[in-house]
Amino acid sequence: MAKLQQKSTGTALEHNTDTEIDVCSSSSRRSHSDSVLGSAAAAKHTQQLLWTHHVLQEKRLQFTCDQFQLVRMPKITSVPEEHQNKVLAHCLEQLIAQECAQNTTVTIYKTDGDGNCLFRAISLGLTQSQDSHKLIRNYVINHLMDTAQSDNVDDIANMGRDGVWGTDQEITAAAELFNSWIFCCSRYGNSNQLCLQQFSPHGIEGRICTSDCQHPIIFLLNSSGAHYEYVAVKVKDVEE
């Protein structure tokens, strides 16, 4: 199945085998797609709206869960990552500060490595539990089937099987279906650098967010290129 690549916001994290991760400027890098967020000014406007409404996150996530008959737990049920991921979490905080001008605290949460990690991570973001991953996969696959080209149906049907690895295509569909911004920190191509991808609730070629938009945010991490985890992002110095 072909990947639908999203736009990198232009900053990367250097991720090497010694677990030393540095935030570095990469303004000369080409974005994954020039159509996702449009101009730099439009991207900045989207970021401002996104984080301005971040304090309403809980209410919006609960509304989304109610829409899809998902049970949102009162607190997160997974275990935070430890050891070198504390370094990675700090670098994610730096990346968000640089790209979104927000001071945040980041916690990375483990997901089971059974081939369902993408849908488990999205489930954690929506419901604070991995338990709804099968239902979320089904919702996403049905959404893709509704808009699929005839030559792509078999690939989408295969993605509906338990344990099949999810791709950018499923993240794109999930963002649109659940009316949420999905941020994913992942490898930039085949390099060891990490970049921040943004998946819009308005689709790949959809409109830019306006002041009327009030989307929840789900933050994912795929630092290895082979496993998705959920990242809880808390904005500091915001009156809640």
> The domain that contains 67 carries what CATH number?
3.90.70.80
Tell me which residue range forms the domain holding 140.
33-235
Average pLDDT of span 141-161? 91
Closest C-alpha to 236, from 101, 85, 125: 101
pLDDT of amino acid 86: 80
Q: CB within 8 A of 23, min separation 6: which ones? A: 11, 13, 14, 91, 94, 95, 98
d(CA 26, CA 28): 5
Lowest model confidence (mean pLDDT) among 21-35, 59-73, 95-109, 152-166: 21-35
- Chain centroid offset of residue 148 CA: 22
The confidence band for 98, taking pLDDT boundaries of 50, 70 and 90, is confident
3-state DSSP assignment of residue 102: coil
pLDDT in tens, 10-64: 344 444 434 444 443 333 233 333 333 334 555 555 566 556 555 578 888 999 9
d(CA 196, CA 92): 9
Please indicate, yes or no, if residue 148 is contained in any of the structural domains: yes
Please indicate, yes or no, if residue 84 is contained in any of the structural domains: yes
d(CA 63, CA 44): 26
pTM of the model: 0.80
Q: How many CB atoms lie within 10 A of CB 43?
A: 19
If one counts the domains in the chain, the total is: 1
Please indicate, yes or no, if residue 45 is contained in any of the structural domains: yes
Please indicate, yes or no, if residue 47 is contained in any of the structural domains: yes
Is residue 207 over pLDDT 70?
yes
Average pLDDT of span 184-211? 82
At residue 163, φ and ψ (nearest 5 deg) are 90, -5
pLDDT of amino acid 43: 55
Amino acid at 147: T
pLDDT in tens, 102-113: 888 899 999 999
pLDDT of amino acid 54: 57
Average pLDDT of span 120-129? 97
Please indicate, yes or no, if residue 60 is contained in any of the structural domains: yes
At residue 237, φ and ψ (nearest 5 deg) are 55, 35
Please indicate, yes or no, if residue 130 is contained in any of the structural domains: yes
**What per-residue string of b and e applies to 105-127 under the rule 16 or more CB within 10 Å gives b?**
ebbbbbbeeeebbbbbbbbbbbb
d(CA 89, CA 105): 8
> What does pLDDT average to over the chain?
78
pLDDT of amino acid 22: 43
Please indicate, yes or no, if residue 66 is contained in any of the structural domains: yes
pLDDT of amino acid 9: 39
Average pLDDT of span 106-132? 96
Please indicate, yes or no, if residue 80 is contained in any of the structural domains: yes
d(CA 143, CA 88): 33
d(CA 197, CA 220): 10
The confidence band for 177, taking pLDDT boundaries of 50, 70 and 90, is very high
